[in-house]
Chain A
Amino acid sequence: MDIKWDQLLVSGDPLILGSQIAIVLTMVGVVAALSYFKKWKWLWNGWLTSVDHKRIGIMYIIMGVLMFFRGGVDGLMMKAQTAVPENTFLDAQHYNEVFTTHGVIMILFMAMPMLIGIMNIVIPLQIGARDVAFPQLNLLSFWLTFAGAMLFNVSFVIGGSPDAGWTSYFPLAGKEFTPGVGNNYYMIALQIAGIGTLMTGINFIVTILKMRTKGMTLMRMPMFTWTSLITSLIIVIAFPIFTVTLLLGMMDRLYGTHFFTVSGGGLDMLWSNLFWLWGHPEVYIVILPAFGIYSEIIATFTKKRLFGYGSMVISIVLISALSMLVWVHHFYTMGVGPAVNTVFSITTMMISIPTGVKMFNWLFTMRKGRIEFTAPMMWALAFIPTFLIGGVTGVMLAMAAADFQYHNTLFLVAHFHYTLIPGVVYAVFAALYYWWPKVFGFKLSEKIGKWHFWLFNIGFNLTFFPMFFLGLQGAVRRSYTYSEESGFQPLFLLSGVGALILAAGFAALCYNIYWSIRHAERTTANDPWGNARTLEWATATPVPHYNFATLPEVDSLDAYWEMKKNNKGFTLDKNQIKPIHMPGNSGLPAIMGGIFLVFGFFLVFEWHLLAAIVGIGIIAGLIMRSFESNDGYHVPVDEIVKHERTWRGESKWKAK
């Protein structure tokens, strides 16, 4: 084990030096503030060790917003670099690192945590449960995801970032061509986060299958619950493939095996195949919950039942099945032959059928509805045409013969941003605006929300629409610069300006959160939007830690809408209240996250002795978990009565 101390910190770049100083100052600042305000205990007991699914969800979302910022800065740096030809703002190596971390962070540490955070908050409420099936495992999932994200993020100041693209194709990502530690970070940080995600998938499958309240059959589940179930299923099917892929990549880099190497019989295209066997389903892992979010929001603000509920369910099941059968379309140019390419062309195009069904269902839901243009609804409305552009260009890319022209150009980059941004980011925004009052007891400002909406939408289209044309003119992706003679300059500049507007949109969201925390009107009404349809709106706002005083019973779809319509099942009888059993806090997951972080760090630098010592800590944690008997606690009747009485008022209260 030889430690090269002089190569540990990345040096010589003023941008990175600035970040290093900023990181140290922020950390000192956070520690100082927590100590000064004596908030350590509050942080540890109330949040870091809390197994409450709503708090875990909030922690996921905070992490997602922070990572959005980090990934967004990466994006802005790329746009600044390419705004003018022959620019020297970033050198080739730095540009490689920036587009790699941008991709990884946005997909794995922004989109996934955001959606899993929303799932955490909403799913138990929608199915009328008090927590997930495995609350402590849920917290561990969060901490592993967080540890993976932190490990990945330290790479750019310690040791150097991965630089082989978010797809990390071999042989480029192998030790022969990138000897530094950057791609070790990729293999190990994503592995740690991936284990957390797999556990989340298992947790939500069991939660949704086993913990639905009385009367909620599968076909009475809200659409977001359905999409979350199918997403969890894809996670369980696809993530183990990624686990193996990363393991083999790590073996190649750390222990000299020959899976993907050029010599020794390795096959570099094996990486591409394995990566996309996970990678394509991964796209649907992030997009399906978004479809669910839109379904909820469109039905709510149209005041109509979702059109074609059954066909929606069939569509998502078909999409999930097809998502496993299209991976070769990411590398038609591998040259495996027209027969194989044709098969994958057809399966790819077939995905547009169930997706189209969903599109029409949303449109038909709105038909003759009384549409209310609230902030969440606006995001849902903007999603439909923008996502359509992404979908149609996707069908263009699906044609194998034509793809040889588009492959690895900015046309492709524009396409997938047109699917992922309306498909995921807009949905996350819509969900934040929609469920925010449920979680915090106040709405985000609609007025600032409109600024956020228009800046983001204009910025997004201005950034990415020109890239379709750039791509068709031959501008390739992942190239740090271009010549003046290429004539790409005007469109690149336009795209750069768009990125600034996009960033202003994100800033408007942050300002909205700040403003609304300080000034927004507080509410305790259970249904602040007035037209909600599903069970999460049937309990107090903000949701009490026990979720429901008595578990609701359901006899149809849109259970809460029916409750309101029939004025039934909404008054609470005091005599029915019993002490509620809740799971207790646990410090072990946070500690395990920390141990995994250090373990991963040592492994990245191939300091095996240190890694082995820390590895003992992981085993110790598992042993402690095995012997732990955490029976939780009971919420006393008095506390429930007091709380329920306050928010319900006398009209929804029966005290015999």
Chain B
Amino acid sequence: MEGKINTSAPIEYQSEQSKLNILGFWVFLAAEIILFATLFSVFGVLKDRTAGGPAGSEIFEIKDVIIQTLLLLTSSFTAGIVIFEMRRGNRRGLIIWLVITLLFGLGFLSMEINEFMHYYHEGATMQTSAFLSSLFVLLGTHGAHVTLGTGWAILIIIQLLTKGINPTTAGKMHIWSLYWHFLDVIWIFIFTFVYLAGVL
């Protein structure tokens, strides 16, 4: 609220409003956990209801999924470097690592789109069976989050270029990184409970 700046804290925690924003975002992430937990439960209930359509083991390409996983996990690591550079006050390094992070994210997204096209050509669409409905909606929701995160990061890059690293932009960057790591965690659950459990 008040424009008080506490310079002893890490830069993203220096303004009062940023501190509130960060806590608010943690609460939002809690809501997101419930949202994904619900989608996972729905998937768990419907995963064997293939209604004559293909089962997961018939359509999953586990090699591609492992590459996707590596891309996203690496992007989480580079997102960590982004925050490291931000705290050092190195704007150039920050933006370079952020762009690298986004490239990994875009790689992940393009593979996911390919995966969806592949399913579509195999005749496995959202309308085929309850299993595929829940699969597409779970993956789609995660993918939509990654897309949103990418667009959001671009907005922050523009603000970093025009305004530099200050408590406000640093707060935004930090919140974005929480979001990005969170999507990674969700992906690990998808990888385990959707893909691995599907092919084993």
Contact = CB atoms under 8 A, between A and B. Distances in A.
A binds B: yes
B130 A267 contact: yes
B45 A267 contact: yes
B23 A209 contact: yes
B126 A627 contact: no
- Chain A binding surface, main DSSP class: helix
Contacts of B114: none
Given A198-B31, A202-B24, A244 B38 contact: yes
A251 B1 CA distance: 41
A258 interface: yes
Interface string B17-45: 00111011001101110110011001001
Given A131-B1, A206-B20, A270-B42, A623 B155 contact: yes
B152 interface: yes
Nearest to A207: B20
Given A257-B133, A581-B2, A267 B23 contact: no
Interface in B108-160: 126-131, 133-134, 136-137, 151-152, 155-156, 158-159
Nearest to B16: A210
Contacts, number: 119
Interface residues of A, number: 47
Contacts of B152: 626
A202 B45 contact: no
Interface residues of B, number: 41
B137 A247 contact: yes
A144 to B, nearest CB: 15
Nearest to A583: B1
B42 A259 contact: yes
A384 interface: no
A259 B134 contact: yes
A210 B131 CA distance: 43
B39 A244 contact: yes
Contacts of B158: 627
Nearest to A277: B38
Interface stretch (B46-54, B57-65, B82-90, B98-106): B46-54
B27 A236 contact: yes
B130 A240 contact: no
A237 B34 contact: yes
Given A243-B35, A267-B45, A581-B2, 12 more contacts: A134-B20, A209-B23, A240-B34, A248-B42, A255-B126, A256-B127, A258-B133, A261-B130, A265-B51, A265-B130, A265-B131, A581-B1
Interface of A: 130-131, 133-134, 198, 201-203, 205-206, 209-211, 236-241, 243-245, 247-248, 251, 255-259, 261, 263-267, 270, 274, 277, 581, 583, 619, 623, 626-627, 629, 631
Interface of B: 1-3, 19-21, 23-24, 27-28, 30-32, 34-35, 38-39, 42, 45-46, 49-51, 126-131, 133-134, 136-137, 151-152, 155-156, 158-159, 168, 172
